[in-house]
Structures are given as structure tokens and as C-alpha cells.
Amino acid sequence: MNIRRFLSVVPKAVQIWSLVIVGCAVPIGLGVGYHEAQPSTALRTLLIDASAGLFGGVVIAAWLLCLGFVFADARRRAMRPFLWVLVAVLFPHLLGFLLYFVMRQLTLPSECVSLRWLVLGDVLHPRRSRGGGNVGIGLIDFQGLWEGRKTVSSFSGLSTNRHFHSLLQ
């Protein structure tokens, strides 16, 4: 995954706070270095502490961006975002992030076939139907299938990695 795609998922507020953290870490490091500096090694101490502040700020900002990604991706996949962020925070050594990526749902809700009443546009263009993605399901009587009537010979036209949401209303 490239950085642009990653950042497109992360909420803007999290991106802004990450930049603020990195921006504040350097002056904090300079302030600590100035406070600890001896007259003979002042420049070296300032540079070391500013570098340590920058490194710490970048690490914290990257961790915050990853938490924002987990939150937004879990919400996008119709999972429990607060629970997964809590798992990512509480499990040590980045095991929470690894656990999220192993346990997350493979399909997005936008890729799922939605069981809704057909409208005229769905009849004319069944592949462009709402929620159906690129799956051409045509005119299948889902209500009849739900009630047990055999209305089609097979579901061979449906992709195996899709799943259904909701019932007919």
C-alpha cells in the first residue's frame, strides 16, 4: 500500500494532530537541550536533544496515523472501530495492529450484494444496481428464494467472495 492510499483512509483530524505532534516535538527537544546544556557542549546537546525530539515525535505521529487507519478501515468494513483501536492500543509490540489485519473482514460493505427491491434502473442496467458492485444478478426473485420457492436454477452468476445484507423490506 502506498502512502497516498494509506493517508486517504486516515481521518483528516488524525493527520493534522500527527503534524502538530511532530511540529511540537522539535521545540520541546530544543528546550530540554537548552536546559541541560553546559557552556562547552551547548550546540552538541541542543542538536542531540532536538534530534531525539524529532525522532520521538515521528514515532508517536506514525503510531497515531496507524491508529487512525485502523479506526477508519474498521468503520469502512462495518466492524467495531473503537474496539479495534482499543485492541491496537492495548496489545504490546504492535501485536494489536497485526491482530486487526489478520482478523478484519476481507470484503467491504460496498462490495456486498444488497437485497433491496428492484427499481426501473436496476431492471435496465442490472450490473449497475445499488450495492451490487459489478455482480450481474439480473432479475432473481429474492423474496421467493427466502420463502423457499425455487425460482432460479443456480447462483452460478454470483461471485463467491460476495455476501448478502438485509432482507427485502
The Cα 35–Cα 101 span in angstroms is 43
The Cα 109–Cα 74 span in angstroms is 11
Q: Mind listing the pLDDT tens digit for each residue in 7-36?
A: 999 999 999 999 999 999 989 988 888 888
pLDDT at 143: 53
pLDDT at 150: 52
Start-to-end CA span in the chain (Å) = 39
**In terms of pTM, does the model score above 0.75?**
no
Query: 67 near 94, Cβ under 8 Å?
Result: no
The per-residue pLDDT of the chain, averaged, comes to 74
Other Cβ atoms closer than 10 A to 53: 21
The Cα 79–Cα 84 span in angstroms is 8
pLDDT confidence bin for 128, thresholds 50/70/90: very low
Query: 115 near 164, Cβ under 8 Å?
Result: yes
Cell of 96: 494489536
The Cα 72–Cα 80 span in angstroms is 10
